[in-house]
Structure 1
Amino acid sequence: MRVENYDTFAKGSLLSGSRKTGNVPSPNYNDFDFNTKKPLAMSDEKFREAIIEQAKKDQSAGKFQSDSAGFRSLVKSYVSAVSPDRKNIISRGFKAIFKNSNPQPKTLNLIDYLLGSVKYCKEAADVSYAEFYDSTGEMVASYSNGRWISYGTTAENARESELLGIYNEAWNNAAKSNQKNSFVADTHIGLINQSV
């Protein structure tokens, strides 16, 4: 799920179910939409080559972008290089939340949510809402009543847009090339049939 949120992309995530902090299950960091900082798998030049090859392969298979597992894997790897360390940010955030024994007031108004002044909502040991920010002040994730949402940072969105530009151009070029080859083959078959 992709939702425009201010100047970032918000992406829903499934819960991992494997670990919990208090009453909150951890997000699934292996999910396509929930990136966390990882070292570059290859140089940007090698990534560019891999993106172009994946686009050609996808075009010939009749797939486009997220229809392709190879594409999703490239996006995750390419974007994770500039992702904030969401795993550490969330882990540290929950340690601080559960260390604080003062629950937030039960009644919160809409203005507090819209202005971002509410960072979490907790009653006793149950957290129903929490927001997580990186060191630059960008919201990178939120948890609300059993659902995690990952918010793309400016750097992540720029890197993903760059990848999409490379991929789309290569996919379109492959489509044009395939159409041209199909036209030449059809013309050649037509000439053979005329001479018979």
Structure 2
Amino acid sequence: MRVENCDTFTQNNLLSDTKKIGNIPSPNYNDFNFNTKKAPAMSDEKYREAIIEQAKKDQATGKFQSDSAGFRNLVKSYVSTVSPDRKNIITQGLTAVFKNKYPQPKTLNLVDYLFGNVKYSKQTAAADVSYAEFYDSNGEMVASYSNGKWISYGTKAENARESELWGIYNQAWNTAARASQGNSCAASTNTNMVSIDKFV
């Protein structure tokens, strides 16, 4: 984690107002864009079935991807199984910063990398933190905090899993759309044939 103190304008656009560490409110881990490690709700095969069913349902109701609450819930659940433990990384990092009133720059060693610990530095001894970066044990930045706003950054594993879900969903949605168009064309043809028969 990298931490800086700056005398910049602080925005009050916070994702969570429940828990704070120092002057920083915790992110809202229930937000669609802010995942943290969770146990899978089902097997990958069951997820696949659920994604296909959701795509069919969404197509029938005229929704696509994030227009659908069901889709958003599936994405969050599916991707969170490979997410880093953002909650723990952020909590440990901020606790380390605010526990030590005057933290010194710290270099990361192998043990820090293995356990996903943090690296931080402060430019001043002020009590408020206006900017921080958080990294997982692979060295990937997983979150940042800047002037009252949290941003989550997808890891390679999360991005790959989300792309996999989109592929399954899009294929199922397109198949359902083609089937729907085929049914409407067949219904239209049958209606026309009936009306022609009436005039013969």
Classify 1:119/1:156 alpha carbon distance in 2 versus 1 (closer, same or farther; 3 Å).
farther
**Which structure has greater strand proportion?**
1
Give 2:59's aligned amino acid. Q
- Deviation for aligned residue 1:19: 0.5
| Bigger mean CA deviation after superposition, 13-22 or 119-128 | 119-128
Q: Give the drift of 1:103.
A: 6.6
Matched letter for residue 58 of structure 1: D
Measure the CA separation in 2 of the matches of 1:49 and 1:121.
52
1:112-191 matches, within 5 Å, as 124-191=126-193
Change (3 A) 1:52 1:14: farther
C-alpha separation in 2, matches of 1:66 and 1:123 = 43
Give the superposition deviation at 1:142: 0.3
| CA distance 1:16–1:75, shift in 2 (3 Å) | same
Q: CA deviation at 1:122?
A: 6.1
In structure 1, what is the equivalent of residue 34 of structure 2?
Answer: 34
> For 2:132, what is the secondary structure of its paired residue?
strand
Tell me the residue number matched to 2:94. Answer: 94
Gaps of 5+ in 2: 1-12, 105-118
Root-mean-square deviation (Å): 2.0
State percent identity of aligned pairs.
71
TM-score, scaled to structure 2: 0.82
Which one has a bigger Cα radius of gyration?
A: 2
Counterparts in 2 of 1:55 and 1:168: CA distance versus 1, 3 Å: same
DSSP-derived class of the 2:129 partner: strand
Alpha-carbon contact 2:103-2:121 (below 8 Å) kept: no
Asked if structure 2 preserves the Cα contact closer than 8 Å seen for 1:121 and 1:129, the reply is no
Counterpart of 1:195, as a letter, is: D
Distance 1:64 1:118, change over 3 A: same
User: CA–CA distance in 1 between the matches of 2:14 and 2:165?
Assistant: 24
CA distance in 2, matches of 1:137, 1:35: 17
Taking the aligned partners of 1:121 and 1:65, their CA distance within structure 2 comes to 43
Structure 1 residues 175 and 132: CA distance shift in structure 2, 3 A:
same
Give the distance between the partners of 2:55 and 2:122, measured in 1 at CA.
42
Which residue of 2 is the match for residue 70 of structure 1?
70
Match of 1:54 in 2: 54
State the number of aligned residues. Answer: 173
Higher relative contact order (CA 8 A, sep 6+): 2
- Would the aligned equivalents of 2:97 and 2:103 in 1 still touch at CA under 8 Å? no
Give distance in 2, aligned partners of 1:150 and 1:121: 24
Cα distance in 2 for partners of 1:166, 1:55 equals: 9
Distance in 1 between residues matched to 2:123 and 2:164, nearest whole Å: 37
How many angstroms apart in 1 are the aligned matches of 2:21 and 2:66? 31
**Residue 85 (structure 1) aligns with:** 85
The question of whether the paired residues in 1 share the 8 Å contact of 2:17 and 2:26 is answered with yes
Residues 122-131 or 76-85, more deviating: 122-131
